[in-house]
Amino acid sequence: MAGETVTCAKGNNYKLHKEHALTDKKDVSVKAVPVESTKAVVVFIGGAGDKERYYFSGPYRNIQLARLGFDKRTEALRDEGKYKSEWLGYNEVRGKQDIQRHVLSLIPYKSCPIYIVGHSLGAWNGAHLSKQMSEWGYRIQMLITLDPVGEGALVWVGSDIYRKRPEPAAAEWINIKAMPIQRDSSDGVADFGEKWLISCGPSINVDVNTSHADALGLFTTPIAGSKSASDLLLESIMKDFP
């Protein structure tokens, strides 16, 4: 009953789930197994103080604003059951048990394209998540890191993040660094947490004139001609639809 096995560019094998005809030795009638309709799962991962309070600050719902805006763009797919998204905190995707509870429960089948959009500490842990899930055989189609933070030892001590620098694994990786002309308090917080300065690896690696806290702005500012990370994410998702 297993589906066709294909080898992706990074060498991972994935099972393609499709409809099969099943027959029983005593039953000559043809049985059809329904095809799973969901073709895209997007996980939006917030940073410190995003989904819950962080040292008496927040929640600010920064990544949730980006998620809600993107969900409007995919409303038709969502209504048809072909797309779903989830908003998680950075501390909900660290460690096997949390990943199983909060992430794997969202995935209908292993070859389903998974898209990870992380902001700040959520980008740091989200990058680790992409590697872990790829090692488990899941298909990470795109990773988007929005001004990732996590290099600072003091932040690691007080936050539930991985200590080791991430080694992302995704078919496509977009990294966006906040470099505002006019800084605000959130940029100072990001400096304290120490940004992850990425010099190589992403397929797109750009700076934008947006403050650290503005996850929506980081997500929707044009970075490739007239296209934003949100546009590129939508394009990638639509490739899986006829």
175 DSSP 8-state letter: E
* Burial (CB count <10 Å: 0-12, 13-18, 19+), residue 56: exposed
Question: Hey, is 124 helix, strand or coil?
Answer: helix
In a domain, 28, yes or no: no
232: left (phi over 0), alpha (psi -120 to 50) or beta: alpha
Q: Which two tokens stand for residue 213?
A: 């806290």
Give pLDDT, residue 36: 62
In a domain, 131, yes or no: yes
In a domain, 95, yes or no: yes
CA nearest 114: which of 122, 104, 123, 128? Answer: 104
| Range(s) of the domain holding residue 109 | 36-238
Give pLDDT, residue 1: 41
CA nearest 228: which of 202, 208, 200, 199? Answer: 208
Amino acid letter, residue 217 = G
In a domain, 86, yes or no: yes
Within a 10 A sphere around the Cβ of 168, how many other Cβ atoms? 22
How large is the greatest C-alpha to C-alpha distance in the chain, in angstroms? 74
Amino acid letter, residue 220 = T
In a domain, 65, yes or no: yes
Q: Which DSSP helix (H) or strand (E) runs through 223?
A: strand 222-224
In a domain, 19, yes or no: no
Reduced 3-state DSSP string for 187-212: HHHHHHHCECCCCCCCCEEEEECCCC
- 140 and 103 Cβ atoms separated by less than 8 Å: no
pLDDT, averaged in runs of 10, over the chain (242 residues) = 40 37 45 63 93 70 96 94 95 94 95 97 97 97 97 72 92 98 93 92 98 97 97 95 74
CATH code for position 226: 3.40.50.1820
In a domain, 155, yes or no: yes
Termini Cα distance of the chain? 25
Domain tally, the chain:
1
Give pLDDT, residue 48: 85
Give pLDDT, residue 199: 92
In a domain, 160, yes or no: yes
pTM: 0.83
Give pLDDT, residue 23: 39
